[in-house]
Amino acid sequence: MKWFDLRRLDGYLPPELEKAYRLYHLKDDIRVASITMSLLCLLLVVFGFNDYLLFGFSPVFYFLISLRSAYFIYFLILIFFLRKIVDPHKYDVNLFVWLVCSMALVLVINLTRPASYTGYLVIDVILVLLVYLAMPMPMLARSLGALFFTAGDIFIFYILRHASSPAISYASIMALVMANIGGMYTSGHLYSFRRNAFKARIEESNSREELQKAAQEISDLYHNAPSGYHSLDKDGVFVRINDTELEWLGYTREETIGKKKFPDVITPESLEKFKNEFPGFKERGWVRDLEFDMVRKDGTVMPVLVSATAIKDQSGNYLMSRSTVFDITEIKRLRDVVTESEKKYRTILEEMHDAYFEVDLAGNYTFVNNRLCEMLLYSREELMGTSYRHFIAEEDFKGIFTAYNKVFRTGESNKGVVMKAVRKDGTTWFAECSISPIRKQKGKITGFRSVARDVSERVELQNRLSQMAMHDGLTGLPNRVLLNDRFEMAVARAQRQKKKLTIMILDLDKFKLINDTLGHGTGDGLLKSVSARLSMLVRKSDTVARIGGDEFVVLLPEIAEGKDAMNTAQKIVKAFGRPFTVDGHDLNITTSIGIALFPDNGEDMEELLKKADTAMYYAKEHGRNSYKLAEN
């Protein structure tokens, strides 16, 4: 046992409480220790005089005087020091040192005292009293220990005081010393027992307080939770219910526990659901998220969401439920608002003039309105789940895919996307679409929504305007504007491939005579027939254009040599040898052709046309119905 740890409670008390406890007993210990030390110092002086009478001025006397003087000085310092101590640990250490020194003094005094010394009993009894009065124990324990071992000292003294053998005398002295040591050790055990009992009381008190606190917290959590809690027995009768649910319903606990059943506080519609679900719940042992309409005491209805688990005995028999009840009044209100809003939204979508549809990331329809079904001539069932690709013209598919991909990459809407759609009967129509992303959790794009408007009339009008701007109104052939565009592209390709190209100018011989004699209608019909025959004589990559009156231009981008161009011109002259049938008239007409090569005869179209025109007039002046290659 560590004497300086006698009052330590080993963490069983909070640090503040432990220190207060120790300081409370420290005051008493300092007071008792001061008194006993003062008495012991007085005895040291008295017995120092007796040592002079016994030993005279001998080495033994001086040794004892020196020892007791040093001890006396130590006591004076210790008494002063103990009055200044406020740290219980330091006090315990100093008190331990003082007790050890006291026991050493007992041993020295007894061993230096002759066996026949008559003051032996008095000295030993006083020292034992002082030692036990200074023990770090309650006063009652100190007093009992001192009295018990003083009685032992007296008994041993009277038994052995007349012993003739020195060995017996010394044995009696050692017995007294051991009795003192045993007394101290036993007293320490008494204090340890007291401390352990105090620990046990603290533990019991703490455990009881913790249990009470935990029970109070659980009860508070149960009764004041933001959700309702109740338990139903096998007949559906309330056996437990928390304050929150009672407050919702407006009933008291006395009105509910053991008196009301759950079916008593729900609407007739919810009662049917309860009758269907409760037997299965008792068997299965759980139920999740059932909606009921509970009826308050004042008759108002409160929608709730109920989840429950069953408590069963060891045999699996149902005892009662543990049910949680959530007030979903606001949730249901918001859900109704959302439902109504969605209904309006769907109505607007269904009744709008434009087509509306939604697709997932794979391009499959997830929603279509009636207008889209009408435009595509498919039913809703036929469209849902199928890909929009099936209803787009093949030539537009790449452009539409690019438009959707742009929306996915940027997250921004794409408007004004025009596509050609294919109906169920194979006919086509043009739609202008706006594409927007559909975002779900954390802004992640999960699909697309589109509004499509039928712009077939507008596209057809644009095509007609484009046709008028780029084509001859009578023959439908490219006009000078389109011819110029194609010439630029042909020149760029020829320069890139380091090749040549050919331009021919054709003029109809004696066309004015036919126009004047047979009329402009016949003349126009002849021009159309000539246009058709010329278009049949050239390749798909070639261009036949009408640049005015009866003049035609043929652009041959893939003819690089003059002889090849003249072979083509000869084929055209020969083809004009067959008559043209117009309005029942077989008209025989010839043509004169001028040929120019790029870049031999020029590098721009105007220069080439001028050279070809000069060559054409040369052919016309030298007999017509022929062709001429321009000179450099």
The bridge status of strand 318-327 relative to strand 228-232 is antiparallel
Q: What is the DSSP letter of 595?
A: E
The residues near 386 (Cβ < 8 Å, ≥ 6 apart) are 364, 365
What is the Cα–Cα distance from 247 to 228, expressed in whole angstroms? 9
Q: How far is CA 572 from CA 147, 169, 510, 542, 593, in A?
A: 153, 162, 17, 14, 9
Q: How far is CA 286 from CA 272, 277, 290, 309, 321, in A?
A: 19, 10, 11, 4, 9
Cβ atoms 554, 544 nearer than 8 A: yes
Stretch (H or E) spanning 346: helix 329-351
If phi > 0 it is left, if psi is from -120 to 50 it is alpha, else beta; for residue 117 that is beta
What are the structural domains of the chain? 3-202 (no CATH), 226-333 (3.30.450.20), 352-461 (3.30.450.20), 471-629 (3.30.70.270)
What is the Cα–Cα distance from 525 to 550, expressed in whole angstroms? 12
CA angle 401–407–411, rounded 5-degree value: 160
Cβ atoms 278, 261 nearer than 8 A: no
What does the pLDDT look like over 507-532, one tens digit per residue? 998 888 888 888 888 888 989 999 99
All residue ranges of the chain with pLDDT < 70 are 1-56, 60-61, 64, 67-68, 70-72, 74-206, 342, 345, 347-351, 459, 461-469, 560
Stretch (H or E) spanning 429: strand 428-439
From the list 156, 150, 96, 145, the residue with the least C-alpha distance to 127 is: 150
What does the pLDDT look like over 417-444, one tens digit per residue? 888 888 888 888 888 888 889 888 777 8
> What pTM was estimated for this model as a whole?
0.38
Q: What is the DSSP letter of 291?
A: E
What is the Cα–Cα distance from 148 to 314, expressed in whole angstroms? 62
The residues near 608 (Cβ < 8 Å, ≥ 6 apart) are 503, 596, 597, 598, 601, 602
Query: For residue 431, what pLDDT is reported?
Result: 84
> For the packed helices 88-112 and 59-84, what is the interaxial angle rounded to 10 degrees?
160
Please state, as a whole number, how many other Cβ atoms lie within 10 Å of the Cβ of residue 336: 10
Query: For residue 11, what pLDDT is reported?
Result: 40
Cβ atoms 233, 260 nearer than 8 A: no
Q: Which amino acid is at 395?
A: E
What is the Cα–Cα distance from 390 to 423, expressed in whole angstroms? 10
Task: Tell me what percent of the residues of the chain surpass a pLDDT of 70.
Answer: 65
> For the packed helices 480-497 and 605-621, what is the interaxial angle rounded to 10 degrees?
110
Q: How far is CA 619 from CA 507, 531, 579, 626, in A?
A: 10, 21, 21, 6
What is the Cα–Cα distance from 80 to 38, expressed in whole angstroms? 11
What is the Cα–Cα distance from 178 to 197, expressed in whole angstroms? 28
Residue 473's SS3 state is coil
What is the Cα–Cα distance from 482 to 274, expressed in whole angstroms? 81
What does the pLDDT look like over 568-612, one tens digit per residue? 899 999 999 899 988 888 888 999 999 999 888 888 889 999 999
Q: How far is CA 38 from CA 68, 74, 94, 144, in A?
A: 14, 12, 16, 22
Stretch (H or E) spanning 350: helix 329-351
What is the Cα–Cα distance from 539 to 555, expressed in whole angstroms? 10
What is the Cα–Cα distance from 403 to 397, expressed in whole angstroms? 10
Cβ atoms 299, 293 nearer than 8 A: no
